[in-house]
Amino acid sequence: MRPAAAATIESVIYLDHAATSPLRPEAREAMLPFLDGHFGNPSGLYSLGRQAQAAVDTARATVAECLGARPTEVLFTSGGTESINAAMLGIAYAMRRAGAGNHIITTAIEHHAGLHVAQHLEELGFEVTQLGCDGSGRISIEEFRRALRPGTVLASVMLANNEVGTVQPIAAVSGVLREFAGQASHRVLLHTDAVQAPAWLPIDVEELGVDALSLSSHKFGGPKGSGVLYLRRSTPFMPLLHGGGQEMQKRAGTENVAGIAGAAAALEASTRGLGERQRTVRELRDRLRDGILERVPGSQVNGCQVNCVPNNLNISFDGVESDVLVRLLDERGIAVSSGSACSNSTWEPSHVLMAMGVPIRRAVGSIRFSLGEETTGGDIAQVLDVLPGEVAAARAESALPV
């Protein structure tokens, strides 16, 4: 094994943008003033504090415009995990306190941030229905409709899956909830984890019809440690964090001004040139997919390649343990993932692939390639040159039969 070297985006073919993305120049520029001279606390009444508060207000307006929302509906958090937790727990607690019910609908293919919140809510006495999916990773609208009942208070369905990229029919789910509202005594709130969507899909909260939407800045070129929670006005909500009453009394804690400024700038930049970005990256992804299937025997695509984000490619390699192949590719300067970046410390088959019905022997050999704006045709060509040999080496090292 070659010794580890200091890696930079220039020295690595980076194909793990679903895990994190390089900081956009626009985000860096927006952050710099608040990392140095403009260090004030937004709660301060003096000029440094007012400068910081003005920056937060400007960022809030920018994010609202990107999402088709009102500025008062945008909250800043520490990232996607907090945004998902706050949305699900805050709405569920508020609805149960109002006597509306304690039933929640979610799916088996959510990010662990959503799955574990649902499990926690069950421990607190909520009833949770977990919907399955088809072989492409897409839920059934009819199954969703059948899961609704008088005590349902919240549905949480992710927009784009982080492992296979499948896009869920959120607008159709919202339509079902509008129909159901005519039969129920209360509204069923809809939350979507949209963490994987910016830079690849248009996001408009009105078109989606959601009441809450979660984002994570570092997935679209912003800084880590900064997130967004859209919360439609009048949505019942109990804050998780209590203290100074920041974020319109919904999320206490001194604001991360630099992170907020960077997140807003990155989100705005990610909306520009969306159509061209989709076409370019989809063509590269398809070139990578077709090349792998042609050159590597025993390879198979997981998930849909049409109704999905254009940068995601999940492929299983027979007879391979995915962590072995990830390591071998890393030694060749190629960064990929063995599934969700948040679960790489444990050797378990992807819960998403298992829910899709992928056989376990194939699931444990799955690799996620997620491309970015800086990915080039040369990168794809180099990966296709290297990959067949490294798959053969991984098969020789792995304990699984081909």
Q: Residue 230 pairs with which residues in a beta bridge? A: 74, 213
> Which positions are annotated as active-site residues?
342
Question: Which residue has 């609202």 as its token pair?
Answer: 64
Q: Which residues contact 299 (CB under 8 A, 6 or more apart)?
A: 292, 293, 315, 316, 317, 318, 391
Q: Residue 192 pairs with which residues in a beta bridge? A: 213
The CA-atom distances, in angstroms, between 222 and each of 23, 183, 233, 265, 267 are 5, 42, 26, 8, 7
